[in-house]
Amino acid sequence: MTVSLPDFPGQVMSETVRGSTHLLRQLGRRRWFRRLVVWTLFAAIYEVAAYIVGPFFLPTIQAVIGSTSGLVSDGAFSSLGGALKQMIVGYLVAVVVGVPLGVLIGVSRVADYILGMYVKALFVTSLIAVLPLLITLVGYGFAFRVTVVLLFAIFFIVLNTAAGVRDVDPQLLSMGRSVGASRLRRAVSITLPSSLPFIISGMRVALANSFGGMILAEIWIARDFGQILTGLAYNRDLPKFMELLWVITLLAAFSAAALKAIERRITPWAASRR
């Protein structure tokens, strides 16, 4: 009598393949894993391109990372810190002014008729064209940089806030009126929570544009951080130049991600609308 034994190595290999496939499928559903794959491919493509075109046109990742000590000794990071402080001031001014202005335009047809057309006109205007006028009005110091960041950020906040106020469910407002809530109470208890996702979305876009406004203002006047940045570009010190750009890009990305996390934290009721 012959007894056929199961192919244990084959079974083990088959179970291993199935387990690996299942693990890859599970990882494929993870957002962080997909981003890791994309950025790994991007880094590989960048490195290959850097080796092909040469360091005169594109530095390698190793060269960019190795330039950190030189940037510290040159004072580039301290100058970047000063530029970021000015950007934060301009961004906060945009939030403090833009949110109430957006609420006013959203709730009042008169305000929308008087102010809305100017906000939309300035929104589509090339801000680069008004920089010489700003230098004439406020000079080229701290006020100029803050004003540039303010103009790059405020219109996104105003328009998104106004859109969020107009998107409030009329039935909720009618319910508030039916229970005798005052206009201020309805604004605080109904309008503001309902429009908060729109406001934070506008703040995220405005924050990304604030970084662009900061760089433009610094390069335009070519002082402090702008002088360092333009000097690195003119001297073709590309490793240091690219590292500064990468640092600014990462700061902008993490700031936007932090605002998005705050939005999900404080507006859980807006998950279905998102």
**Residue 22 reports pLDDT greater than 70:** no
**pLDDT (tens digit per residue) in 49-63:** 888 888 888 888 888
Please tell me the pTM assigned to this model.
0.81
Higher pLDDT, 267 or 57: 57
- Residue 9: predicted pLDDT: 57
Which pLDDT does position 150 carry in this prediction? 93
Q: What is the pLDDT of residue 98?
A: 92
Task: Specify the higher pLDDT residue, 205 or 125.
Answer: 205
Confidence class of residue 78 from pLDDT cuts 50, 70 and 90? confident
Stretch 117-128: mean pLDDT, rounded? 80
pLDDT greater at residue 28 or residue 102: 102
**Region of poorest pLDDT, from 3-7, 102-106, 215-219, 246-250:** 3-7
> Is it the case that residue 95 has pLDDT exceeding 90?
yes
- Read off the pLDDT of residues 155-170 as tens digits, 9 standing for 90 and up: 999 999 998 888 877 7
Q: How many CA atoms lie within 13 A of 209 on its CB side?
A: 21
User: For 72-81, 94-103, 252-261, which range has the lowest pLDDT when averaged over its residues?
Assistant: 72-81
Is the predicted pLDDT of residue 43 greater than 80, yes or no?
yes
- The per-residue pLDDT for 24 is 65
Maximum mean pLDDT: which of 24-28, 122-126, 132-136, 214-218: 214-218
Model pLDDT, residue 93: 95
Task: Write the burial class of residue 15 (CB in 10 Å: 0-12 exposed, 13-18 middle, 19+ buried).
Answer: exposed
